[in-house]
Structure 1
Amino acid sequence: MMETALPNFHFHDLHPEPEDFHSDVIAGLRQTPRQLSPKFFYDERGSQLFDAITRLPEYYPTRTEIDLLQRHGEDMADMLGNDGLLFELGSGSDTKIRVLLDALQPQTYAPIDISREPLRLSAGTIAEDHPELEVHAICTDYSKPLALPGVVAAKRRSAFFPGSSIGNFDPGQACDLLRRIANIIGPEGRLLIGVDLKKAPSRLHAAYNDSEGVTAQFNLNLLARINRELDADFDLAAFRHEAFYNAQLGRIEMHLVATAPQRVRIDGCCFEFQAGESIHTENSYKFSVEEFQALAAQAGLASLRVWQDDDALFSVHCLQPI
């Protein structure tokens, strides 16, 4: 499918330049402890692996959130209001947004994602399936201040932020991001956001250390991407995936741990790894409903309604700027 063949599909490529990936990787590996941003997981292969993760029996967040959308989609649509512009941050798989689009029926849908080709494919398919819907796909990094295309800036707005992606940000960063979303949607806008809830550490451990090893492949694919795109020479066989729940900070941490000493070169820079040294690749904060509502309030967003499953695994919040 070509975007030019669909009059209702528009692709706005605001993707960060390749040197942003380069500079972020170099800076992250120079830190102590070393770290890499999870936003770089989602190249084409990473997006495929994450889609496979969402279907694993141990990984409850995706199916639980989809069930909440299916059960309460009409109520959520009533809270958001229809006939306006719906942003989706971190669009990824289109399963969740299709449920919401059917209930909400907005005039315009604007998915925002950093991964160019998965975004183009997903948004283009939605435009093809919904010829009555104006689709403006925006390829950019939503973790940074957003400069929206003028064609979508003036409409009445709401936003959908699924998947508990807000948990990938430290509390201060999450608060800043929520403030930016509040500014995007405006004083009359609404935000529908998925939030993973605190639960037994054993349940969390299983979700991030699946028996098939797909999450390990997903984590290691970040090094494969660095090798491919930055001409690096990581030995992937000398790193292992590690994920654990940090109860004190209320978050899952994902790491890549060196199993043997090695020297890695990236564009003239050399990095020495000792056995047991890790690269911190992701945090996933978990919240109680009250904790997340307090975080949202710090960002100037008031809670209007919360939906959660019977087992209190996952929640979806509707927020409005104060």
Structure 2
Amino acid sequence: MLSIDRLQSTGNHGLFGGRVAEGLSAPSKWLPARLLFDARGVQLHDDIVRLPQFYAARSELAILAANTGAIAGATGACTLLELGARRPNAARLLIDGLAATLQTYIPVDFGDDALAAAAVVIARAYPRLSVRAMVADFVCEPHRLPARGGRLITLLGGVFGGCLPGERAGMLRRIRTSMEWDDTLLIGIDLTTASHRLIAARTDQFGVNATFNRNVLCVLNRELGAQFVTEQFEHRVVWDENASRVELRLLARCDQRVRIPALEFEVALERGTQIRTETVAVFQREQLESELAAVDLTIDRWWADIRGNYALVLAKPSMG
């Protein structure tokens, strides 16, 4: 059984228009990373994760495949709530592992197309499973999602590390507020300390990463009537040592003024101006423990790959 619900109360302009104007008005310009993941962006990202240098997705799936039994034993979940559900790979592994207890799968993402496609794949593969896809802002409003106990809530596929520290803190706080004593949270995190590997993962000779990055401008053109010329921007990948993260940026190749009619907004960009489009954070265990403890969550299990490049972390509400 498949259903698709929408928690969003406003149209596309209201969802991200204000954030776009805010980001492009800032001295250090940025765009909401969620705009990268429209249907075309998800397809491009699928191509990226198949590149040999992109280790994170393969590591995450390998850890999942090796530990689904342990995850099932530790959670006994009857509901799988996947936040940032853009492709069905991880969900299928978890659904298989939780076969003895799982009744409902709830994939959640910002946009309709990729979410619906992934939900259909799962619904067809598991006809006895109740599949309820939800279009929602899971970063700002996870507390509005179905909250009956016995849930395994997941933040996989780089979703957690793609949030800025303030966003992570707010999201974790709202998730924790909605959690019952028997709910659990599974997070995928990058542990790599070699910045060159992180940069290489988002740089390729085929231009797939560059096309993915510039696609954010195509989204603005389509959804907001913006007049960006994608060829006038260069794909950049930068390591921020202080913040322990990789940043994807778009560099303006020339002076330009770009109108965004739907927002009644115009941005002036000088040659060399950089716009941050996505971040990929790297974690240490102590840092994650601190972020979880701040919202009364405790690490229950920690599964890392053999090279220590990636980990899956199962967290539970702190007891007492």
Contact 1:159 1:185 in 2 (8 A): no
> How many Å apart are 1:254 and its aligned residue?
1.1
Q: Which runs of 5+ in 2 are unaligned?
A: none
- In the TM superposition, what whole-angstrom CA distance separates every residue of 1:129-163 from its partner, at most 9, and x where no partner exists? 111111111111111123546xx433432211112
**Distance in structure 1 (CA, Å) of the matches to 2:95 and 2:176:** 21
- Aligned with 1:111 (options 107, 113, 122): 107
- Provide, for residues 47-95 of structure 1, a one-character-per-residue CA deviation record: whole Å limited to 9, x for no partner: 111111111111110011000011111111111213x111000011101
Cα separation, 2, equivalents of 1:232 and 1:271: 10
Corresponding residue for 1:271?
A: 267
TM-score by length of 1: 0.93
CA distance in 2, matches of 1:185, 1:154: 8
Count of paired positions: 312
Q: Aligned to 1:243, what secondary structure does the other structure show?
A: strand
Q: Does the 8 A contact of 2:143 with 2:178 survive in 1?
A: no
Equivalent in 33, 40, 44 of residue 49 of structure 1: 44
Give the 3 Å change call, closer, same or farther, for CA 308–146 of structure 1 in structure 2: closer
Match of 2:315 in 1: 319
Whether contact under 8 Å (2:56, 2:310) holds in the other structure is yes
RMSD: 1.5
Equivalents in 2 of 1:295, 1:198: separation in Å?
19
The normalised TM-score by structure 2 is 0.93
Residue of structure 1 in register with 2:3 after alignment: 10
From 94, 97, 101, the counterpart of 1:100: 94
Q: Is the 8 A contact 2:59 2:305 kept in 1?
A: yes
Q: Aligned partners of 1:95, 1:110: CA distance in 2, in Å?
A: 15
Q: 1:264 to 1:126 in 2, by over 3 A?
A: same
- Asked if 1:191 corresponds to 2:176, the answer is no
Looking at structure 1, the residues matched to 95 and 272 of structure 2 have their Cα atoms a distance apart, in angstroms, of: 47
Give 2:150's aligned amino acid: R
- Residue from 59, 62, 68 that aligns with 1:64: 59
| 2:176 matches 1:182 | yes
Q: Which residue identity is paired with 1:24? A: R
Map of 1:90 onto structure 2: 84
Counterpart in 1 of 2:282? Answer: 286
The amino acid that maps onto 2:2 is F
- SS of the aligned residue for 2:160 comes to helix
Q: Which amino acid aligns with 1:306?
A: W
Contact 1:156–1:185 under 8 Å retained in 2: no
